[in-house]
Amino acid sequence: MMDIKLLTVRSEIAAGTRGAGMGIDALIVASLDQKSTFFSDYSVQNIDDVNNILFKNNQYPNAKHIDGVHTMLERVSNATSNVLTKENTPFVLAGDHSTAAGTISGIKKSFPEKKLGVIWIDAHADFHSPFTTPSGNMHGMPLAIVTHIDNKEEAVNSPNQETLDYWDRIKSVGTSTPKLAAEDIVFIGVRDTETPENVIINKYGIKNYTVDEVRQLGAIETAHEALKKLEDCDMIYVSFDVDSMDPSISKGTGTPVEHGLTVEEALTINTTLVSSEKLVCWEMVEVNPTLDKHNTMANNAFHILTETVKSYKHNRTVKA
């Protein structure tokens, strides 16, 4: 019998703003406020963070705290892979979005022969490398890590040698080869990218369902179309960054961007996507209660989380 396993990752070292590590506890507070037993209904495995690295000076301006990010990706990759090996489904709740590179690496480590498709619901493309990043924040890099796209042609930075050594190591977490092809990524809600990312999106023909397109098509149809685009893939991973949603809902995320999805749209997209029998893992990231009022983002994100789990279970035999 399939089992959902919650992996909590209170890591925030790859974000530019402090506080995303507290996102998981904000979700737990939201669950208590809503009188939900969710966090006791499922088994929770916490992955220790290295957030204390933030007290030290950063040595890597074009990939901040890459040494710590490398440690976290190894841990997340191993934990994800262990859950999958026991034929359970990881639902990852994480701080900053760099974690997703670890999750994806763990999926590929467990199923090296299977073709992976990724649906990335986000305001950002997160496709930078140390060569192209405008900020040095590694939560903007997970898709470059897992596809091994350095995009040196569009370089705007000259990273130091230590950074490049770590960059090679970080791309080899889980498996030494790329975990997926850029063509097997679908974006939903992406609306804040830099030129080097646009070059990748155009070069590989990555489809982005804009917020306007989601509204035209409807959220259910958008999700079905996204899955259809990845029909050649054997397994699907969904990465849900809460900054895909509109800042009018809540400012409780580190990099909010205007003109995002409504809570209802994000909810319907996620619940529809996880009904696919190919879904192997789902992740939610970037809730930051320190930037919020009345824990609004976490309350909404918790609602999306529980409905997504419910939908996942609806189509399968899953025990709590």
Ligand X SMILES: NC(=[NH2+])NCCC[C@H](N)C(=O)O
Residues that bind ligand X (CB under 6 A): 97, 124, 126, 128, 133-135, 137, 139-140, 194, 241, 243, 254-255, 286
Q: Name every residue whose Cβ is closer than 8 Å to that of residue 219 and which is 6 or more positions away in sequence.
A: 264, 265, 268, 269, 272
Listed in sequence order, the DSSP H helices in 209-262 are 211-217, 219-229
Residue placing its CB nearer to ligand X in the complex, 10 or 124: 124
Distance in Å, CB of 244 to ligand X, minimum: 10
By a kind-dependent CB cut-off of 5 to 8 A, residue 191 interacts, out of ligand X, Mn ion, none, with none
**Number of C-beta neighbours around residue 181 at 10 A:** 14
Distance in Å, CB of 233 to Mn ion, minimum: 21
By a kind-dependent CB cut-off of 5 to 8 A, residue 246 interacts, out of Mn ion, ligand X, none, with none
Q: Is 285 helix (H, G, I), strand (E, B) or coil?
A: strand
- Residue 310, judged by CB atoms within 10 A of its CB (0-12, 13-18, 19+), counts as exposed
For residue 216 the two structure tokens come to: 């035209």
Distance in Å, CB of 241 to ligand X, minimum: 5
**Residue 39 · residue 28 · CB < 8 Å:** yes
The CA–CA distances, whole Å, from 290 to 8, 18, 84, 138, 171 equal 18, 8, 33, 20, 31
Residue placing its CB nearer to Mn ion in the complex, 64 or 97: 97
Distance of CA 224 to the CA centre of its chain: 20
Measure the CA–CA gap between 240 and 269, rounded to whole angstroms: 10
By a kind-dependent CB cut-off of 5 to 8 A, residue 229 interacts, out of ligand X, Mn ion, none, with none
By a kind-dependent CB cut-off of 5 to 8 A, residue 12 interacts, out of ligand X, Mn ion, none, with none
H-run or E-run covering 3: strand 2-9
**Residue 261 · residue 301 · CB < 8 Å:** no
Residue 241 binds Mn ion (CB under 5 A):
yes
Residue 126 binds Mn ion (CB under 5 A):
yes
By a kind-dependent CB cut-off of 5 to 8 A, residue 31 interacts, out of ligand X, Mn ion, none, with none
Residue placing its CB nearer to Mn ion in the complex, 164 or 304: 304
Distance in Å, CB of 3 to Mn ion, minimum: 28
**Residue 128 · residue 194 · CB < 8 Å:** yes
Count, residues near Mn ion per rule CB under 5 A: 5
Q: Is 44 helix (H, G, I), strand (E, B) or coil?
A: strand
Q: Is 282 helix (H, G, I), strand (E, B) or coil?
A: strand
Residue placing its CB nearer to ligand X in the complex, 84 or 173: 173
Residue 12 binds Mn ion (CB under 5 A):
no
Residue nearest to ligand X (CB): 140
Distance in Å, CB of 42 to Mn ion, minimum: 24
By a kind-dependent CB cut-off of 5 to 8 A, residue 134 interacts, out of Mn ion, ligand X, none, with ligand X
Distance in Å, CB of 146 to ligand X, minimum: 14
Distance in Å, CB of 286 to ligand X, minimum: 5
**Per-residue DSSP letter, 290:** G
Residue 109 binds Mn ion (CB under 5 A):
no
Binding site for Mn ion (CB under 5 A): 97, 122, 124, 126, 241
